[in-house]
Amino acid sequence: MTPKQHRGEVTAEHLLDAALRVYGESGEQGLTVSAVTAASGVSPGSLYHHFGSMDGLLTALLMRWLERLLVEMVTALEQADSARAGVRSLVRAYLTFIRDHREAGLLLHSSRADELGMRQAKQLRDAQEARLTPLSAWVSRYVASGELAPLPVSVLESLILGPVIGASRRWLTLGDIDLDEAADVLPDRIWRSVSANPG
């Protein structure tokens, strides 16, 4: 990497870090070119050079944090030695990530993220394929072994992640959920819905 390329990467990182801080303090309505450039000390021209627009910056920020969340989830699954242990590890990893990165959690569970997901679902999935493949492979492996119910991978992913995403949204927006309690309760409840033998 040339010194110029390195400087460009550092500038892009400064802009992404500043954008998340601004988003956490002011929400999406406060996420403007002037606010991000003031917070980062980077010129508007550099922002446009690296991201093309505020929309491009926000998309890059979402992708950055989605990738980090997926890494945590996949790591949790890879360390589990059974489907049930994997569900427990995944739930705890997700909720811990949200607690530790509240601003990023707000962004990842925002209407903007939902809109991007609906509009560019295939592109997002393709961009994160390397991260999503181990998750799908984990589900498929335990369906094949008879531990998970013989349902489509997409349905099982929804049954596993849906309650965790719902609890995260409540904690982020209303604050009326205790994440420690959710981490204790949700895995067994989710397991009953996805286990091949939920007895």
pLDDT in tens, 162-175: 999 999 999 999 99
Amino acid at 123: Q
Whether the Cβ atoms of residue 32 and residue 54 lie closer than 8 Å to each other: yes
Residue 46 token pair: 């550099």
- pLDDT, greater one: 142 or 114: 142
Asked if the model's pLDDT at residue 123 lies above 80, the reply is no
Asked if the model's pLDDT at residue 31 lies above 90, the reply is no
Asked if the model's pLDDT at residue 190 lies above 70, the reply is yes
C-alpha separations of 133 from 84, 99, 128, 193 in Å: 19, 25, 8, 22
User: Taking the chain, what is the end-to-end CA distance rounded to the nearest angstrom?
Assistant: 56
Share of the chain above pLDDT 90, in %: 66
